[in-house]
Amino acid sequence: MAQGFTGKILRVNLTDGTTSVEELDPVLYRRYLGGGALATYFLLKEMPPGVDPLGPDNVLVFMCSILTGTPIPGFSRYTVAAKSPLTEGFAESEAGGFWGPELKWAGFDGIIIKGKSPKPVYLWIKDGECEIRDASHIWGKTTGEAEQIIRNELGDKRIRIAQTGPGGENLVRYACILNNVKHANGRTGLGAVMGSKNLRAVAVRGTQKLPLHDEEGVRNVTRWFAQNWRDNPRQVIMHNLGTSNGVLNMNAGGILPTKNFRTGTFEHADKISGQAMVDTILIEREGCYACPVRCKRVVDVKGEYDVDPYYGGPEYETIGSLGCLCCIGDLPAIAKGSELCNKYGIDTISTGVAIAFAMECYEEGLLTKEDTGGIDLRFGNADAMLAMIEQIAFRKGLGDILAEGVARAAEKIGKGAEKFAMHVKKQELPMHEPRGKKTLILAYAVSPTGADHMENPHDGDFASRSPAMERVAPLGFIEPVEAFDLSHRKVRQFVYLQKIWSLYNSLGVCTFVAAPVYTLTFEKLIEALEAATGWKTSLWELMKVAERADTMARCFNVREGFTRDDDTLPDRIFGPLEGGALEGVGVDRDVFQEMLSCYYGMVGWDPETGVPTKARLAELELDWIELPGVEVKA
Amino acid sequence: MAQGFTGKILRVNLTDGTTSVEELDPVLYRRYLGGGALATYFLLKEMPPGVDPLGPDNVLVFMCSILTGTPIPGFSRYTVAAKSPLTEGFAESEAGGFWGPELKWAGFDGIIIKGKSPKPVYLWIKDGECEIRDASHIWGKTTGEAEQIIRNELGDKRIRIAQTGPGGENLVRYACILNNVKHANGRTGLGAVMGSKNLRAVAVRGTQKLPLHDEEGVRNVTRWFAQNWRDNPRQVIMHNLGTSNGVLNMNAGGILPTKNFRTGTFEHADKISGQAMVDTILIEREGCYACPVRCKRVVDVKGEYDVDPYYGGPEYETIGSLGCLCCIGDLPAIAKGSELCNKYGIDTISTGVAIAFAMECYEEGLLTKEDTGGIDLRFGNADAMLAMIEQIAFRKGLGDILAEGVARAAEKIGKGAEKFAMHVKKQELPMHEPRGKKTLILAYAVSPTGADHMENPHDGDFASRSPAMERVAPLGFIEPVEAFDLSHRKVRQFVYLQKIWSLYNSLGVCTFVAAPVYTLTFEKLIEALEAATGWKTSLWELMKVAERADTMARCFNVREGFTRDDDTLPDRIFGPLEGGALEGVGVDRDVFQEMLSCYYGMVGWDPETGVPTKARLAELELDWIELPGVEVKA
């Protein structure tokens, strides 16, 4: 079988400690590709609605894409999916790094994990075999410590480990999974799902050759990327300045999330920019497997804060959430916060938003020093921020409440705290401002995982005949859409881009190397897939896989009781921005509802309820999905 | 402007005898491509609903595609569109041949004709100029005579002429337009629209070079076709046996329309097959511009019937309609009928169905010799068939009634004649049997032009892993659909294939050279378009153009008052076939209605009413279409 995929799924039952290997029908790969779409397929097929996300009935799926493990840059990514302890709906998160390719070389496309181990364990997967091993001795250890212990005891330094940390063990609802202690499946609380199953880590080592249809063809795309990525100025900026390259532009545009989204302008933006990091604490640029772009940062800090380079360095989302959102302009402190989150296995976005929320509650008098254990939890207090990370990861004091996420924390705090809780579907907002990047109005509201940072709308690029627009012309984007146009044109722009993002999650490709903005054009993506598999495919077929993924995720949430009312934005976003270039700009509630109906209609869901129609389910060959008790219109 | 299109449209007002040239916004070409989609755009923009199709307010559009006029085989086609005198709804018909390329070389992508000339005229277009010339001396002449007269008086034998004939002059509701007297825009009565405008012909001569983005790229596709078409066995059969290559297989399968669709088996099938023609009357194979396949036939007959080779030879549809449908197994007689229809400019399909209808009425006693002028109008009487062609073209005797089409004729005859009238939306059924080729159930019912022969479903090819299925895999057809499966799978198969057919009508490419069955893959079509235009496009973008075309045509009919009730089939098709391999097989009415709702939903129209939704109109950038008095759902 020379097709890019191994054809094998590892199944693990942690309750009874058994494992098995399942061979998948090749048709499934073509219909669901891998990654997000294929993971969602298994969730819907094998988990009934209504299970406790932190109970043994949750199903935890790790899924690579067909192209994960090929040497083509940007395809290192894999999906983890389950029911989310944070949203109690659909959970999906991707990570790059090295673990995904290693799993493919070990002979598996994915792992489906069920049940709950009676004691802490980790999985040891090597070349087609899987062992469930005791993890009592690493329970409570930092991610770095655990990684070393596992590598040492298995006697192989090249083992790749995806794990959660103390945050996951302590069921922080936004605990994450990390591989190489710095590539995170960050969002939706998948680390807590691992923790709830007493599963600390999945260690993998593979030495098998990945079967490819056309090795020379795969090499050609690989070579093409190496030869061309430096011709893309945005790709080069990504290499030079990393993911926080846009901080100064965003600040100038009034859309740098600051002070818990009260404003979009931060007085110390220049201190936390990508350039500032290069000029101060950066010691190395790192990449994921096979990727020459090396957008990841490694920082070394000595002095007031000691930061261990082993944990990499802060991404933009971390700089935003632990930095400007908390009004902290101290890059070493942010880097320390990033290190702590990675050590403990908690999502930096939700952590930062939870702390900013607490800071606002504190400044507004809803929380006092009594609640914080004496910490002066003001905006701008870096030490307070770091202390709160510790409290959250170990569920100490106020941290125990914040570990529930801002939505639940606001409920517990009461006194109207909900108005400071910046979340959609109980997941905290990432560091992009919907009042300025208008496509995010829909992206945040309808994302099946709640507000998600992986849907970067590039509104500016679509507002003029930019190189990015040229590169999405194959989608039919033939005329610019003005950045603040909220008509059906903006909705369509989002609808098509959303498919692209879903496609990337299923292809396992990084948005930072691919169209619309970066090196890999749609043509090259298709060339890569065709070389690996031998299929003749098209952007039409791939967009339909993306529609399938989006519609399945929607069905997952519909089954769990989500309705149109859950597709909304925090109150604050409907209100005006304070200060900055977009002072006074908010989101009109009526316009929002019109956009929402238009979106539902365009994707083939009922324009009133957002429930996928029978016809759309049938078109996508998803007629097997059952939505009991829900009215599914023709 | 090096882009495959001239960028210019010729506008002609026949009422006041003026002409002008309009330059089109290049965005229009990318959004509507040309051919069917671009023609429909102009119909909707420039013609209000409710006009008399035979009055001066009808708008007659001739439209080439971007690729018409390039040397790539199969792209010779152009569209003619208007409001149909036959259906009183949307009219569109394509023809190959040589006229379309010539128009491009004359500097125009299309012609929009309005008004009505006070006297017979023809247009003379040469290299960017247009003259409206007197046609009094050719009025009443056969197409062959008219062609000679025009070429002689303009002194150029290479002039290409699209014209109607006496049938169009006499407003036969299914009069056609022919170029080179044998390439027909056959259906929906566009010849009658010409006749109603006193426009007999459009003569064209062009010597301008068509601007191309990448001439070498266009040459490459051309060369590739020349080198590869003989490797496709079906393409070779098309060359060898022509379009009637399938007669014997269809007869064996019980789906060869016979005796006015009462049965699907014809005792003399072997006498009218493609092989029979090769063995008896064929003297030459002809092609359209630049096409080496040469599927067109030229026949020479002497004896009981003299057939002039100047008019080519009968296509399958003609052999079916004038042959087996009328129980006539006499190939020379059928060839004579074909010649007469081409001479007089009437559509062979509607003509044959009208005659078969009359034959059944005669045999059943609804018509007598008194009605027929003494003709013994029995099934199988070849001389009667030929006599009726004369009567129809010149509206003599019974022919005057049959010239109205079977739906109106049945009304006039009364006595229950409607049950013998094989039409959808008043257009006569082509020679394919929906009770056997199941996709036709929808194809006939929902075609905006009424039953149409250009939507050939290839059900058999999709029922197994055939080469055709491999070639449509880029559409997402990854599993066979059993030929008699009437579930959503069959509906989806039709929905996607319908887009392909619409795309081909807009690309100007012949279904007999392209996927699913023939030489040009989707990849090559895209390569051709990209080379000509310099665009980077994709199958996604092209499928969206097709959706746009289909939705515009639907809107045209909705504006004219068509409803779900018009999307149906003749009663006979719901009933059982008599005899043959499919004896007793009919179409279940409930299943049909389910398929119809599913189809509406899949294409983004209201599943109950079939009216395009607001969201789908918005997605396709068709929000400019007005549907007054119609409920358009979100």
pLDDT digits (tens, 9 = 90+) for A353-380: 999 999 999 999 999 999 999 999 999 9
pLDDT digits (tens, 9 = 90+) for A602-627: 999 999 999 999 999 999 999 999 99
- Burial level of B49, CB count in 10 A (0-12/13-18/19+)? middle
- Are the beta carbons of A58 and A52 closer than 8 angstroms? yes
Given pLDDT bands bounded at 50, 70 and 90, which one contains residue B461?
confident
pLDDT digits (tens, 9 = 90+) for A588-605: 999 999 999 999 999 999
Count Cα atoms within 13 angstroms, Cβ side, for B566. 24
A541 to chain B: which residues are within 8 Å by CB? 473-476, 539
Q: What pLDDT shows up at residue A462?
A: 86
- Are the beta carbons of B520 and B237 closer than 8 angstroms? no
- Are the beta carbons of B29 and B8 closer than 8 angstroms? no
Q: What is the DSSP string of A431-455?
A: S--TTTSTHHHHHHHH-TTSS-TT-
Question: What is the dihedral sign for C-alpha B101, B102, B105, B107?
Answer: negative
pLDDT digits (tens, 9 = 90+) for A212-238: 999 999 999 999 999 999 999 999 999
**Dihedral pair phi/psi, residue A374, rounded to 5°:** 90, -5
Query: CA nearest A289: which of A160, A468, A190?
Result: A160
- Are the beta carbons of A300 and A307 closer than 8 angstroms? yes
The answer on pLDDT for B1 being more than 60 is no
Residues 596-625 of chain B with CB under 8 A from chain A are 597-598, 600-602, 604, 607-608, 613-616, 618-619, 621, 623
On whether any CB of chain B is under 8 Å from the CB of A209, the answer is no
Mean pLDDT of B466-484: 90
Question: What DSSP state is assigned to residue A472?
Answer: T
Name residue A565's beta-bridge partners.
none
pLDDT digits (tens, 9 = 90+) for A312-337: 999 999 999 999 999 999 999 999 99
Q: What is the DSSP string of B388-438?
A: HHHHHHTT-THHHHHTT-HHHHHHHH-TTGGGG--EETTEEP-S--TTTST
The answer on pLDDT for A526 being more than 80 is yes
Q: Closest-CA residue in chain A for B527? A: A523
Write the secondary structure of B89-156 as one string of H (helix), E (strand) and C (coil).
CEEEEEECCCHHHHHHHCCCCEEEEECCCCCCEEEEEECCEEEEEECCCCCCCCHHHHHHHHHHHHCC
Q: Closest-CA residue in chain B for A634? A: B607
Q: Closest-CA residue in chain B for A521? A: B536
On whether any CB of chain A is under 8 Å from the CB of B129, the answer is no
Distance CA A530, CA B356 (A): 51
Given pLDDT bands bounded at 50, 70 and 90, which one contains residue A2?
low
Give how far the C-alpha of residue A16 lies from the chain's centroid of Cα atoms, to the nearest Å. 31
Distance CA A504, CA A515 (A): 10
In sequence order, which residues have a C-beta less than 8 Å from that of residue B240 and are 6 or more positions away?
A: B274, B278
* Domains delineated in chain B: 8-205 (3.60.9.10), 243-428 (1.10.569.10), 439-518+538-619 (1.10.599.10)
Q: Please state the pTM of the whole predicted model.
A: 0.96
Do the Cβ atoms of B537 and A613 come within 8 Å?
no
- Helical residues (DSSP H) of B214-289, grouped into ranges: 215-228, 233-241, 247-252, 274-280
**Lookup: tokens for B315:** 């296509």
Mean pLDDT of A2-26: 95
Query: CA nearest A124: which of A91, A101, A97, A102?
Result: A102
On whether any CB of chain A is under 8 Å from the CB of B151, the answer is no
In sequence order, which residues have a C-beta less than 8 Å from that of residue B312 and are 6 or more positions away?
A: B181, B182, B286, B296, B297, B298, B299, B338, B342
Residues 489-508 of chain B with CB under 8 A from chain A are 489, 491-492, 495
Query: Mean pLDDT, chain B, as a whole number?
Result: 97
Residues 431-470 of chain B with CB under 8 A from chain A are 470
Question: What is the dihedral sign for C-alpha B494, B496, B497, B501?
Answer: positive
- The gap between the terminal CA atoms of chain A, to the nearest Å, is 40
The answer on pLDDT for A1 being more than 80 is no
B479 to chain A: which residues are within 8 Å by CB? 27
- Burial level of A132, CB count in 10 A (0-12/13-18/19+)? middle
Residues 581-600 of chain A with CB under 8 A from chain B are 597-598, 600
Distance CA A221, CA A529 (A): 10
On whether any CB of chain B is under 8 Å from the CB of A231, the answer is no
Mean pLDDT of B131-139: 98
Cβ-Cβ contacts under 8 Å between A and B: the total is: 130
Q: Which residue did the predictor score with more confidence, B2 or B88?
A: B88
Specify the residue for token string 């329970």: A139
Distance CA A449, CA B205 (A): 62
**Lookup: tokens for A481:** 């859409």
A615 to chain B: which residues are within 8 Å by CB? 488, 597-598, 600-602, 607
Do the Cβ atoms of B613 and A601 come within 8 Å?
yes
On whether any CB of chain B is under 8 Å from the CB of A308, the answer is no
Of A31, A474, A489, the CB nearest to B540: A474
B515 to chain A: which residues are within 8 Å by CB? none
Distance CA B552, CA A404 (A): 52
| B571-574 own/partner pairs: CB under 8 Å, 24+ apart | B571/B418, B571/B419, B572/B261, B572/B262, B572/B419, B572/B420, B572/B422, B573/B261, B573/B434, B573/B435, B573/B441, B573/B444
**Lookup: tokens for A395:** 């569920």
Q: To probe the interface with B, which of A539, A564, A608 has the most B CB atoms within 10 Å?
A: A539
Count Cα atoms within 13 angstroms, Cβ side, for A546. 21
Given pLDDT bands bounded at 50, 70 and 90, which one contains residue A275?
very high
Q: To probe the interface with B, which of A602, A603, A613, A622 has the most B CB atoms within 10 Å?
A: A602
Q: Left, alpha or beta for B72 (phi > 0: left; psi -120 to 50: alpha)? A: beta
- The gap between the terminal CA atoms of chain B, to the nearest Å, is 40
A619 to chain B: which residues are within 8 Å by CB? 488, 492, 495, 602
Do the Cβ atoms of A540 and B476 come within 8 Å?
yes
The answer on pLDDT for B16 being more than 70 is yes
The answer on pLDDT for A410 being more than 60 is yes
Q: To probe the interface with A, which of B28, B471, B488 has the most A CB atoms within 10 Å?
A: B488
SS3 content of chain B, % helix, strand, coil (to 5): 45, 15, 45
On whether any CB of chain A is under 8 Å from the CB of B535, the answer is yes
| ipTM (interface pTM) | 0.95
The Cα angle at residue A69 between residues A66 and A72, in degrees rounded to 5: 90
A634 to chain B: which residues are within 8 Å by CB? 597-598, 601, 607-608
Do the Cβ atoms of A614 and B598 come within 8 Å?
yes
Q: From the DSSP assignment, how many helices (H) and strands (E) are in chain A?
A: 26, 16
Distance CA B616, CA B609 (A): 14
The answer on pLDDT for B551 being more than 80 is yes
The answer on pLDDT for A59 being more than 60 is yes
Given pLDDT bands bounded at 50, 70 and 90, which one contains residue B530?
very high
On whether any CB of chain B is under 8 Å from the CB of A538, the answer is yes
Distance CA B259, CA B324 (A): 7
The Cα angle at residue A117 between residues A115 and A122, in degrees rounded to 5: 110
A522 to chain B: which residues are within 8 Å by CB? 538
Q: What pLDDT shows up at residue B2?
A: 63
Give how far the C-alpha of residue B195 lies from the chain's centroid of Cα atoms, to the nearest Å. 19
Do the Cβ atoms of B619 and A475 come within 8 Å?
no
The 10 Å Cβ neighbour count of residue A565 is: 7
On whether any CB of chain A is under 8 Å from the CB of B634, the answer is yes
Q: What is the largest CA-CA distance in chain B?
A: 66
Q: What pLDDT shows up at residue A585?
A: 97
pLDDT digits (tens, 9 = 90+) for B248-293: 999 999 999 999 999 999 999 999 999 999 999 999 999 999 999 9
| Distance in Å, alpha carbon of B490 to nearest chain A alpha carbon | 10
Question: What is the dihedral sign for C-alpha B187, B191, B196, B197?
Answer: positive
Of B491, B544, B597, the CB nearest to A634: B597
| Distance in Å, alpha carbon of B406 to nearest chain A alpha carbon | 35
**Lookup: tokens for B202:** 């459009």
**Dihedral pair phi/psi, residue A284, rounded to 5°:** -165, 150
Amino acid identity, position B251: N
The answer on pLDDT for A509 being more than 70 is yes
Of A471, A491, A540, the CB nearest to B475: A540
In sequence order, which residues have a C-beta less than 8 Å from that of residue A86 and are 6 or more positions away?
A: A173, A174, A188, A189, A192, A350, A405, A426, A427, A450
Question: Considering chain B, what percentage of its residues have pLDDT values greater than 90?
Answer: 96
Give how far the C-alpha of residue A486 lies from the chain's centroid of Cα atoms, to the nearest Å. 26
Q: What pLDDT shows up at residue A603?
A: 97
| Distance in Å, alpha carbon of B618 to nearest chain A alpha carbon | 6
Distance CA A156, CA A444 (A): 42
B521 to chain A: which residues are within 8 Å by CB? 536
Specify the residue for token string 């051709």: B528
Q: To probe the interface with B, which of A545, A600, A619 has the most B CB atoms within 10 Å?
A: A619
Q: What pLDDT shows up at residue A228?
A: 97
pLDDT digits (tens, 9 = 90+) for B431-460: 999 999 999 999 999 999 999 987 777 788
Distance CA A463, CA A392 (A): 41
**Lookup: tokens for A589:** 């509630």
Q: Closest-CA residue in chain B for A633? A: B607
Query: CA nearest B262: which of B332, B353, B386, B371?
Result: B353
A523 to chain B: which residues are within 8 Å by CB? 536
A477 to chain B: which residues are within 8 Å by CB? none
Mean pLDDT of B48-69: 97
Q: What pLDDT shows up at residue A454?
A: 79
Residues 17-46 of chain A with CB under 8 A from chain B are 27, 30-31
Q: What pLDDT shows up at residue A257?
A: 98
In sequence order, which residues have a C-beta less than 8 Å from that of residue A360 and are 6 or more positions away?
A: A259, A260, A262, A379, A420
Q: What pLDDT shows up at residue B463?
A: 86
